[in-house]
Chains A and B, each alone.
Chain A
Amino acid sequence: MLRERFTRNRLAVAGGILVALLFIVALLAPVLAPYEPDYIDRYHVLEPPGRLHPLGTDDIGRDVLSRMLYGARVSLSVGFVAVGISTLIGMMMGAVAGYYGGIADRLIMRFVDVMLSIPSFFLILAVIAFVGPSIWNIMFIIGLTSWMGVARLVRAEFLSLKSREYILAARAVGASDTRIILRHMLPNSLAPVIVSAVLGVASAVLLESSLSFLGIGVQPPMPSWGNILTAGKANIEIAWWLSVFPGAAILVTVLSYNLLGEGLRDALDPRLWERR
Chain B
Amino acid sequence: MFLYLGKRLAEILVTLVGITLLSFFIIHLAPGKPTDVLTDLNPKITPEARERLEKYYGLDKPIIVQYLLWVKRVVRLDFGDSFSTDRRPVWEKIRERLPVTVSINLLSMMLIFLVAVPVGITSATRRYSLYDKITTVGVFIGFAMPAFWLGILLMMLFGVYLNWLPISGLRSMNYETLSAGGKVMDLAKHLVLPVFVSAFGGIAGISRYMRSSMLEVVRQDYIVTARAKGLPESKVIYRHALRNALLPIITLLGLSVPGLIGGSVIFEQIFSIPGMGRLFWMSVMQRDYPLIMGLLTIGAVLTLIGNMLADLCYAVADPRIRRR
- Which of A's residues lie within 8 Å of B, judged by CB? 110-111, 113-123, 125-132, 202, 206, 209-210, 213-216, 229, 232-233, 236-237, 240, 243-244, 247, 250-252, 254-255, 258-259
Q: A126 touching B292 by the CB < 8 A rule?
A: yes
Bound complex: CA of A110 vs CA of B21, how far in Å? 13
Q: B287 touching A118 by the CB < 8 A rule?
A: no
Chain A residue contacts of B283, Cβ below 8 A: 129
Q: A236 touching B155 by the CB < 8 A rule?
A: yes
Bound complex: CA of A198 vs CA of B265, how far in Å? 26
Chain B residue contacts of A258, Cβ below 8 A: 140, 143-144
The answer to the question of B303 belonging to the interface, with a C-beta cut-off of 8 Å to chain A, is: yes
Q: B292 touching A250 by the CB < 8 A rule?
A: no
The answer to the question of B289 belonging to the interface, with a C-beta cut-off of 8 Å to chain A, is: yes
Bound complex: CA of A45 vs CA of B114, how far in Å? 45
Q: If the complex has contacts A114-B19, A118-B299, A122-B295, are A255 and B258 also in contact, measured as CB distance less than 8 A?
A: no
Q: B266 touching A122 by the CB < 8 A rule?
A: no
Q: B146 touching A113 by the CB < 8 A rule?
A: no
Question: Which one of A209, A233, A237, A254 contacts B270 once the chains associate, using CB atoms below 8 Å?
Answer: A233
The answer to the question of B313 belonging to the interface, with a C-beta cut-off of 8 Å to chain A, is: no
B contacts with A, residue count (CB < 8 A): 56
- Which of B's residues lie within 8 Å of A, judged by CB? 11, 14-15, 18-19, 22-23, 26-27, 29-30, 34, 37, 41, 140-141, 143-149, 152-153, 155-156, 159-160, 167, 255, 258-259, 261-263, 265-266, 269-270, 280-281, 283-285, 287, 289, 292-293, 295-296, 299-300, 303-304, 307
Bound complex: CA of A119 vs CA of B277, how far in Å? 11
Bound complex: CA of A236 vs CA of B155, how far in Å? 8
Question: Which one of B145, B261, B289 contacts A122 once the chains associate, using CB atoms below 8 Å?
Answer: B261
Bound complex: CA of A127 vs CA of B23, how far in Å? 10
Q: In chain B, what residue has the closest Cβ to A206?
A: B146
Q: A117 touching B280 by the CB < 8 A rule?
A: no
Question: Which one of B29, B167, B262, B303 contacts A130 once the chains associate, using CB atoms below 8 Å?
Answer: B29
Question: Which one of B144, B255, B293 contacts A202 once the chains associate, using CB atoms below 8 Å?
Answer: B144
Question: Which one of B18, B262, B270 contacts A119 once the chains associate, using CB atoms below 8 Å?
Answer: B262
Q: Is the interface of A mostly helix, strand, loop or mixed?
A: helix
Q: B149 touching A122 by the CB < 8 A rule?
A: no
Q: If the complex has contacts A116-B258, A117-B19, A118-B19, are A251 and B149 also in contact, measured as CB distance less than 8 A?
A: yes
Bound complex: CA of A213 vs CA of B267, how far in Å? 12
Chain B residue contacts of A210, Cβ below 8 A: 146-148, 266
Chain A residue contacts of B293, Cβ below 8 A: 126
Q: If the complex has contacts A127-B26, A233-B270, are A113 and B15 also in contact, measured as CB distance less than 8 A?
A: yes
Q: B148 touching A229 by the CB < 8 A rule?
A: yes
Chain A residue contacts of B146, Cβ below 8 A: 206, 209-210, 213, 247, 250-251, 254
Q: A119 touching B300 by the CB < 8 A rule?
A: yes
Q: B262 touching A121 by the CB < 8 A rule?
A: yes
Q: If the complex has contacts A120-B258, A255-B144, are A233 and B303 also in contact, measured as CB distance less than 8 A?
A: no
Q: If the complex has contacts A120-B258, A216-B285, A251-B146, are A130 and B26 also in contact, measured as CB distance less than 8 A?
A: yes
Chain B residue contacts of A119, Cβ below 8 A: 258-259, 261-262, 299-300, 303
Q: A214 touching B155 by the CB < 8 A rule?
A: no
Q: In chain B, what residue has the closest Cβ to A114?
A: B18
A-B contact pairs, 24 of them (CB 8 A): A113-B15, A116-B258, A117-B19, A118-B296, A118-B299, A120-B259, A120-B262, A122-B262, A122-B295, A122-B299, A125-B281, A125-B284, A126-B295, A130-B34, A130-B37, A131-B29, A132-B41, A229-B152, A236-B155, A237-B160, A251-B145, A254-B143, A254-B144, A255-B140
Bound complex: CA of A229 vs CA of B148, how far in Å? 9
Chain A residue contacts of B296, Cβ below 8 A: 118, 122-123, 126
Bound complex: CA of A19 vs CA of B281, how far in Å? 32
Q: A240 touching B299 by the CB < 8 A rule?
A: no
